[in-house]
C-alpha cells in the first residue's frame, strides 16, 4: 500500500511524524479518510478520535479540534490537543465529563450552548474510546 508523510502537531509537542498508509480524521463537515494521492484540502477538525494506520497497525488519538492540511507533501494536522488513547486515563476522563456536567448549572446563553456542545463531543469520544478498547 502506498504511503505518505504525516505530521500531528499539538501546542505541547509533535505527537506523530512519519510515513503512514491512512489517517482517518474527525472533520467538522464529516469524517475524512486520507490516503496517498489525496486531493489538496484544508479542513477544520472537530473533537473526536483520529485513527493513524502505519505499518498495518492502527493507533487511535483523541484530538480536541484543530486544522488539517493535505498537500502534495503529505498531511499535517495542527491539533488543539492530541492524546493517544493508549495514554488516556479513562477514570480521569470520566471525572472531567462529570465536572463539565456540574458546571453547566452555572452557565447560560451562548456560553451554555458552547459548553453543552463540548460536553457532547467529550461523551462521543468516551463512547468511541470505550468501544475501541473493548474490541482490542
The three-point CA angle 87-81-53 to 5° equals 60
Backbone angles phi, psi at 2, to 5 degrees: -70, 145
Q: Give the global pTM.
A: 0.75
Mention every residue, 6+ apart, whose C-beta is less than 8 A from residue 19. 3, 4, 5, 6, 54
Predicted confidence at residue 115, as pLDDT, reads: 74
Cα gap 51→20, rounded to integer Å: 11
pLDDT of residue 70: 96
The parts of the chain modelled with pLDDT lower than 70 are 130-136
**pLDDT of 131:** 66
Residue 79's pLDDT is: 94
Amino acid at each position: 500500500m502506498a504511503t505518505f508523510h504525516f505530521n500531528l502537531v499539538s501546542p505541547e509537542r509533535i505527537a506523530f511524524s512519519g510515513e503512514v498508509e491512512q489517517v482517518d480524521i474527525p472533520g467538522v463537515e464529516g469524517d475524512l479518510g486520507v490516503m496517498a494521492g489525496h486531493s489538496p484540502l484544508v479542513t477544520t477538525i472537530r473533537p473526536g478520535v483520529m485513527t493513524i494506520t502505519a505499518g498495518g497497525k492502527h493507533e487511535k488519538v483523541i484530538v480536541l479540534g484543530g486544522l488539517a492540511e493535505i498537500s502534495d507533501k503529505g498531511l499535517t494536522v495542527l491539533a488543539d490537543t492530541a492524546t493517544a488513547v493508549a495514554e488516556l486515563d479513562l477514570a480521569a476522563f470520566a471525572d472531567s465529563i462529570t465536572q463539565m456536567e456540574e458546571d453547566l448549572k452555572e452557565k447560560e446563553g451562548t456560553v451554555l450552548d458552547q459548553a453543552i456542545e463540548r460536553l457532547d463531543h467529550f461523551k462521543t469520544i468516551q463512547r468511541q474510546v470505550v468501544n475501541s478498547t473493548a474490541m482490542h
